[in-house]
Amino acid sequence: MSENERKSGRDDSLDPVVTSVIASRLEGIGRKMGTTIERSARSPLLVEGRDFSVGIYDANGVLIHQTEYIPILGYATAPGVQQVIDAFEGDINEGDVMLHNDVFTGGNQPSDWKVLKPVFVEDELVAWTVINAHQADVGGSVPGSYNPDATEIWQEALRIPPVKLYDGGERRDDVWELIFGNVRLDVVSDDVRAMIGGCTVGERNLHELLERYDVETFHRHKSELLDSTEKMVREGIQEIPDGTYESEVPVVDDGFDHEREMTIAVTIEVAGETMSFDFAGTTDQTPGYVNAPRAVTMSSVMITIFMILEEHIPHNDGILRCVDIDIPSGSMLNPDFPAASAFGNHLSDQICTVIMDALADAVPKRVTAGWNPLLCGLVSGIDPRIDEPYVDLILNGTKGGSGGTYNADGYDHIGLIASGGAIAAQDPEMFEIQDPHFLHHYEFEQDSAGAGRWRGGLGVRTEFEFLADGVEASIFGDGDSTETAAPGLFDGLRGSPNALELEYPDGDTYEPELKELVGGIPKGTTWKQVAGGGGGYGNPLERPVETVAEDVRNGLISPEAAKSEYGVVVTKDGTVNTDQTEQLRRELAPTDLEVVDADS
């Protein structure tokens, strides 16, 4: 044996190469499971929007690998997986398929259904393949589940505690009929079949992997993979200065009281290699659906950590070992049974924002200014062209800009932070082909981006006309005021707020509340929505003059805003008046112009 080897005194049974091989293979398997959903499912939410996440867990429910097609569903899946495993302990057999959505046993949102399949080698349970995916309908009192009038879970969705859809390879028709008899749309059972297919693809590929490396080798190296991830995260956290960091952000409209302002608060303790997040100070649970099951906060915390550590960290349980999360029970981030919570996923906007804001002084170069909070509409009605029901989320209208960050502008038209830019907007032509809608306008909105040394991403104006009569729209979101629009950082300005207006055929207009069901929308009504921009980072007066001028030339910033926010005197075609600009910037610059410490 070599000198090096003796020196390190490593465990001979562990081979880092095998660990890398297994990690690589798991990544490949996750992708194959995801491809199954993307290519074979029915709902546009899954096929176009990719609103799902894929995971491989060990026999005990420890996450070994995750491929999150949408980040918010990623780490929000694990708590439910654990509950399913506990529920069936002693009765888990090859060929079983489990289903779960219940937010009071670990679920994250009633619309997000998990399919789980155990993977056996001979008689030993070795792993689970799991897919968590947003369903087009889940029962409850309104199509698509977003019901601002709901006060309890039963008004939102069919509650599915851990159940077996298949038992030892046989479909349980009684359970199947019970579930799908309580759902409005046929595509849901087809989508669940695609999810089962995806889990089966994962199972087959894990079998191949376990033929190559025996179970014992797999177990040992899986643990090594988690340890190595943990080590990476610990080293990453160590770079964050120790300390206690706090912040709070507002959430407006609880579904009943449209003016009510709630608070999400966090205290972050960084101590050496670990971080803890305490959400004490967050408003108590609300009477309506503006409550987030615990899993949502877990996932949101992970999203911000991945963003802040700026490393390629494998996505498994290793990261969870370095992070503690405390959420007061009975608060809007950990509501008591039987609270409604369908809006909960979307509180991730504010949860991520509050964490970024709290850590801004600790890691100024890694945080981003605020992302545009979601304001979305789920519309449903009868498509007159085929005389059949249709349901769709107006995704293109909801995707505003992300926050600026050190050395990079925010990303234009990206949407909520919890998606990381993974959800695709509808193509304008496909939008008209799939839905009875006629699009009039779909472009970047001038002056929507929060001004900054690095400006926020641009928001988008979407205007379309309903060609169907009597459409119902469930509006859900936030950020429609200058106080709640995406915040800037380090003297960067806020992005523009969200705005939504319905213009009826008779010329009357109506501005819905942030959470509201609007029914009976007549044919010929125009939906006019502006998704706001992201917040700016750093003082706008420090943005290079020529960059501002280019944005003006491209019509993204008006000459007026260039002057008032950036101190740049420029004509519409991008011609800069250098003397006036110099003078104006001098006048506008505060004596204590706060500059981000270049060395922090």
Query: Please, which of residues 437-496 interact with another protein by CB under 8 A?
Result: 438-444, 460, 463
338 counts as binding another protein under rule CB under 8 A:
no
Q: How far is the CB of 10 from another protein (least distance, A)?
A: 5
Location of structure tokens 């309903």: 466
CA dist 108 and 292 (Å) reads 7
Place of tokens 């694990």: 78
Q: Please say which residue, 255 or 415, places its beta carbon nearer to another protein.
A: 415
Instruction: Name which of 248 and 432 has its Cβ closer to another protein.
Output: 432
Q: What angle do CA 94, 99, 101 make, to 5 degrees?
A: 155
Tell me which of 244, 329, 482, 554 binds another protein, using CB under 8 A. Answer: 554
Q: Judged by CB, which is closer to another protein: 267, or 547?
A: 547
Q: Which residue in 83, 135, 229, 345 binds another protein (CB under 8 A)? A: 229
**Which of 57, 166, 277, 306 lies at the binding interface for another protein (CB under 8 A)?**
306
As measured in angstroms, the least distance from the Cβ of 85 to another protein is 22
Instruction: Assess 173 for contact with another protein (CB under 8 A).
Output: no
Decide if residue 292 touches another protein (CB under 8 A): no
Cβ-based nearer residue to another protein, 520 or 544? 544
Does 36 sit near another protein (CB under 8 A)?
Answer: yes
Q: Which stretch binds another protein (CB under 8 A): 183-191, 491-499, 504-512, 514-522?
A: 183-191
Cβ-based nearer residue to another protein, 159 or 315: 315
CA neighbor of 74 nearest in space, from 282, 304, 233, 260: 304
Q: Quote the least distance from Cβ 256 to another protein, whole Å.
A: 32
- Between residue 70 and residue 109, which ones bind another protein under the rule CB under 8 A? 71
Q: Which two tokens stand for residue 211?
A: 């033929």
The tokens of 439 are what? 């699009």
Cα(493)–Cα(565) distance, integer angstroms: 9
Residue 64 in the binding site for another protein (CB under 8 A)? no
Question: At closest approach, how far in Å is the CB of 86 from another protein?
Answer: 26
Interaction between residue 207 and another protein (CB under 8 A): no
Q: CA 345, CA 73: separation in Å to the nearest integer?
A: 9
Based on CB atoms, which residue is closest to another protein, 203 or 278? Answer: 203
- Residue 387 and residue 381: Cα distance in Å, rounded? 10
Distances (CA, A) of 116 to 9, 110, 391, 517: 40, 16, 27, 34
> DSSP letters along 457-491, please?
PP-EEEEEEE-SSSEEEEEEE---STTTSPPPBTT
How does DSSP classify residue 16? H
Cα angle vertex 26, ends 167, 237, to 5°? Answer: 115
**Which residue lies nearer to another protein by CB, 441 or 586?**
441
Burial state string for 322-340 with b = 16 or more CB within 10 A and e = fewer than 16: bbebebbeebbbbbeeebb
Q: What element of type H or E holds 166?
A: strand 163-167
| Using rule CB under 8 A, residue 325 touches another protein | no
Under the binding rule (CB under 8 A), the answer on residue 321 touching another protein is no
Contacts with another protein: how many residues (CB under 8 A)?
A: 99
Contact residues for 389 (Cβ-Cβ < 8 A; gap 6+): 143, 184, 185, 380, 381, 382, 383
Could you give the string, one character per residue 564-583, with x where binding to another protein holds by CB under 8 A and - elsewhere? Answer: ----------x---------
Which amino acid does the sequence have at 8?
Answer: S
Using the rule CB under 8 A, is 128 a contact of another protein? no
347 binds another protein (CB under 8 A): no
Nearest CB to another protein, comparing residues 201 and 275: 201
Tokens for 105?
A: 């046993």
Residue 204 near another protein by CB under 8 A: yes
For 313-332, give the DSSP string. ---SGGGGGGEEEE--TTBT
Within 8 A by CB and 6+ apart from 553, the residues are 572, 573, 574
Nearest residue (CB) to another protein, 279 versus 431: 431
Class of residue 511 by CB neighbours under 10 A (exposed 0-12, middle 13-18, buried 19+): exposed
Q: Which of 89, 91, 174, 429 binds another protein (CB under 8 A)?
A: 429
The least distance separating another protein from the CB of residue 25, rounded to whole angstroms, comes to 8
44, 477, 487, 495: which one contacts another protein (CB under 8 A)? 44
Q: What share of the chain is helix, strand, coil (3-state, %, to 5)?
A: 30, 25, 45
Binding residues among 368-397 for another protein as defined by CB under 8 A = 368, 395-396
- For another protein, give the closer residue by CB, 3 or 173: 3
Q: Residue holding tokens 């995750």?
A: 66
Binding to another protein, residues 259-288 (CB under 8 A):
none
DSSP state of 433: H
Q: How is residue 529 annotated by DSSP?
A: E
CB of 575 to another protein, least distance (A): 13
Question: Is residue 171 a contact point for another protein (CB under 8 A)?
Answer: no
Choose which of 144, 198, 497, 538 interacts with another protein (CB under 8 A). 198
Candidates 12-20, 254-262, 329-337, 486-494 — which segment interacts with another protein by CB under 8 A?
A: 12-20
Rule CB under 8 A: which of 392-421 touch another protein? Answer: 395-396, 399, 402-403, 405-409, 411-415, 420-421
Cβ proximity to another protein, 96 vs 409, nearer residue: 409
